[in-house]
Every structure is written in structure tokens, then in C-alpha cells.
Amino acid sequence: MKYILIGGTFDGLHRGHREFIRKAFDTGGRVLVCITADGMVKTKPRAEKIERYEKREKIIKEFLRSENWLGRAETVKIHDPFSEGLRPELTHIIVSKESRENGEKINLMRKAKGLRELGVIEIEFVNAKDGEPISDARIRKGEIDKNGNIL
């Protein structure tokens, strides 16, 4: 059975996040959803506007519940982008273009520990109505809404 690793800040749980999570559940049997701790987001643009971890986790769990995925999911708070990727039972990781490098680093770390490498699945960004990727940074700037509509 596939056990998929995904991770992110998941601020605002926009359409791109939802599609990212859907891909994980469409691909695998179980999914480990890693949510960044508040300390990891301090360097992001407009970090002061990012929702606190507890709120982001609650929204993710509500989304998982609404899709009937709670039984197949585990959510975990992460303080670094790599340690959860060393779980031996994981089989795949889903990444975006911007996070592919972290997936490759996880595989190097796994190899060094004698663990099998994860299958890397790269997904495309979901675009807003203007053809540019939906991102929480663009939403925080007030350029677009959570569904990619131009503001």
C-alpha cells in the first residue's frame, strides 16, 4: 500500500492546497500531512498575516473530514522540512516545482540511512484567473482570493 508524504504551511487552505491534498489521496492509500510549525514561517513574506498553527491544523482537519479522508490521514506539526520524511513506512512524496529540492534532499537522507528512496511525484501549480499560480503569498498581498479570482 502506498503511504504518501505531503507538507506545507497550508495558510488559508486555498484551491491550490486543496488540489495538492486531493492528488495525495488519489495517489495513495495513506497520507502523512506535515504542517509547518509557527517558527518555520517567520521568514515568509507578510509572515505576520499567516494563520497560527492551531488554526491551520483545524482547517486542514475540517477539509479532510469533509472529503471522508480522516481515516486515511495523519497530520503532524513539523519544525524542519526533513525529519518526517525519514519514516521507513513512507513510499512516495508529492512535491511542487518549488519543493522538489526538499524531496530530493529527503531521498539523499533516506539513502544515507539505508532506507529505500521515495517515489517523487511532482504536481503542477494551480493557476489563478490571471494565469499565474495561486499562492498564499499572493492572497496575503490582496492580489487574488482563495479560489484564484483577481481582486
How many domains would you assign to the chain?
A: 1
- Is residue 147 assigned to a domain? no
What string of DSSP letters covers the chain? --EEEEEE--TT--HHHHHHHHHHHHH-SEEEEEEE-GGGGTTSTTGGGSPPHHHHHHHHHHHHHHTT-GGGEEEEEESSSSGGGG-TT--EEEE-GGGHHHHHHHHHHHHHTTPPPPEEEE-PPPB-TTSSBP-HHHHHHTSB-TTS-B-
**For residue 12, is it within any domain?**
yes
In a domain, 151, yes or no: no
Is residue 136 domain-resident?
Answer: yes
* 148 part of a folded domain: no
Task: Note whether residue 71 is domain-resident.
Answer: yes
* 33-84 pLDDT tens trace: 999 999 998 887 778 889 999 999 999 999 999 999 999 999 999 999 999 9
Q: Is residue 93 part of a domain?
A: yes
Query: Residues of the chain with pLDDT > 70: what percent?
Result: 100
Q: What is the pLDDT of residues 73-129, one digit of tens each?
A: 999 999 999 999 999 999 999 999 989 999 999 999 999 999 999 999 999 999 999
Domain encompassing residue 137: 3-141
Domain of 51, CATH number, reads 3.40.50.620
